[in-house]
Amino acid sequence: MTKSDHRRSRAARSKWTAFGLLLALAAMVWGAPVPLRAQQPEPKDRRKYLDDIYKEYDNEPRKTLPHANLPENLRNAIEQKQLLEEKPKGPIRRVKTTPMLGPDGQQLVGVVEDRRMTKPQLELRANLFLRNAPSLGDPQKAEDRRVLTESRILDDWMKSTILAVHAQRKGYRVKPEEIDAAYKQLVAQSHGNPDQATQMMRMIGIPEADLRQEIEDGIAVDKLMLDYVQANFPEQQKQAIFKEDPSIFLDPPRVRAWQLFYPLTSYLTSSQLEKVTALMNDLRKRLRKCKDMNDYLALKKYLQDNNREVVLSELSWATADEPLPQPVMKALFTMEIGETSDPVVNRGFGIHVVKVLERKEGEKSYEQAKPRIENFLIEKSKEILYEEVKGKYKIKINASGLTESHDVPEPVARAVASSPAGPGSLPEDPSQIRVPSVESVLKKKEAERAQQLLNDKTTPTPTPAAAPAPPAPATPPAAAPGAPAASPGK
């Protein structure tokens, strides 16, 4: 090392020493910790240090790779031999996978005991669910939404079917009268006309027998879950749930009314607003005379023919949470039944005229809320009971389609190039398969390597090639091997 190198090294040490002193001075003034260099473990303790780290994160001591000190080719041969000598856990089978079909020949997507769902049935339910869904624009996103929808529908079907089968095995039965009453109630809520409802179900592809089966399953599960709740949730626990937040389980006051509405009056001038108010007063008189649904429909047709700006609609059992102006809500819940309000002007919404038809008082007591508390506990308990009983039943689901495996009656064998029957053939008797030993494989590789070295030594060094002779009109006979090349002509 030269003198200049010594000077540079001493300057560097002095610079870092000064920097350390500056940090120490800062720590003394501001009380900050001095960032010292972390002390490295000694070499003799490094192995223990690393073992502690492995034990902490892997929760087990480090393992040494078997045959780690052997050459790679020998290690691979030993591992290959161990794999060949390893006995299979069970009999070796050759199987073929085919789609699982139902009695009607359609591919199945779900099986719960003797209940089945086919691919067309799942697609039909997904179509009904996505019929009014907004368009996504992107075909890939639409396909992803459909796949997710089918998966959720199939999962819900599986859970409800398991509970229905469990209720059936527990002895819960549903009478035909109960199914008929529930079916009529469902029809009344949807269309009102049984023939029209049946025709609609046929148009969308839902057989009436399937709908009745689902109604029967739903009633049986409700009976099962009601007994489950009664057995696992005592009365004191239900009352405690009610006291936590009574508003969740109490039905609030509701009102049914007809409404005349002129929207968006914020852009109207004062004179225009007076004319619209006069028009609403005239329509208020017509609304006041309406007594039944025929009068309501006649007024609605009159507005469509003469005053398309005014909308007549029905508020079906509205609560105090409806997005309506406060004066309108006050009129709905304070007026007498059959009374019609004066035009209520609100610049942000429009002009409202309402007529009260019916009113329901709100619930207040625990006894009134008890059925909703039980329904709440039933829905919460379905998942609990499903987890308890799902292991007792045969379940197979796959939204893409179920498959089943069949044994192939051909003999199971592995293709070995050195088979007695010839390369690529499969012997009928698996015991005839000859697996080469590790020693023979290594000897063969050593012989090939020695032969390659011998060939490299005996191969003569190639001499520079002579210039090619001009093409002759006739092809001369081929020269004997090892003959010298012909010299070019002068």
Give φ, ψ of 383 to 5 degrees: -65, -35
Q: Are residues 225 and 132 in the same domain?
A: yes
Band of the pLDDT at 416, cuts 50, 70, 90? very low
Q: Are residues 50 and 176 in the same domain?
A: no
Find the CATH number of the domain harbouring 178. 1.10.4030.10
Q: Are residues 203 and 156 in the same domain?
A: yes
Task: Indicate whether 454 belongs to any domain.
Answer: no
Find the CATH number of the domain harbouring 280. 3.10.50.40
Task: Indicate whether 220 belongs to any domain.
Answer: yes
Q: Are residues 271 and 209 in the same domain?
A: no
Q: Are residues 64 and 208 in the same domain?
A: no
Q: Are residues 145 and 169 in the same domain?
A: yes
Q: Which residue has the tokens 């624009």?
A: 137
In whole angstroms, what separates CA 414 from the centre of its chain? 40
Query: 245 or 24: which carries more pLDDT confidence?
Result: 245
The predicted model gives 43-71 an average pLDDT of: 59
pLDDT of residue 468 exceeding 60: no
Domain count, the chain: 3
Q: Are residues 236 and 382 in the same domain?
A: yes
Task: Indicate whether 325 belongs to any domain.
Answer: yes
Query: How much is the pLDDT for 207?
Result: 76
Query: How much is the pLDDT for 371?
Result: 87
Q: For the chain, how big is the Rg over CA atoms in Å? A: 44
What residues form DSSP beta bridges with 118? Answer: 108
**Does the global pTM surpass 0.95?**
no
Using CB atoms within 10 A of its CB, is residue 343 exposed (0-12), middle (13-18) or buried (19+)? middle
Q: Are residues 163 and 231 in the same domain?
A: yes
Domain span at residue 159 reads 108-246+367-397
Query: 146 or 29: which carries more pLDDT confidence?
Result: 146
pLDDT of residue 476 exceeding 60: no
Q: Per residue in 322-380, pLDDT tens?
A: 888 888 888 888 888 989 998 888 767 788 899 999 888 888 888 888 888 888 898 88
CB 315 within 8 A of CB 259: yes
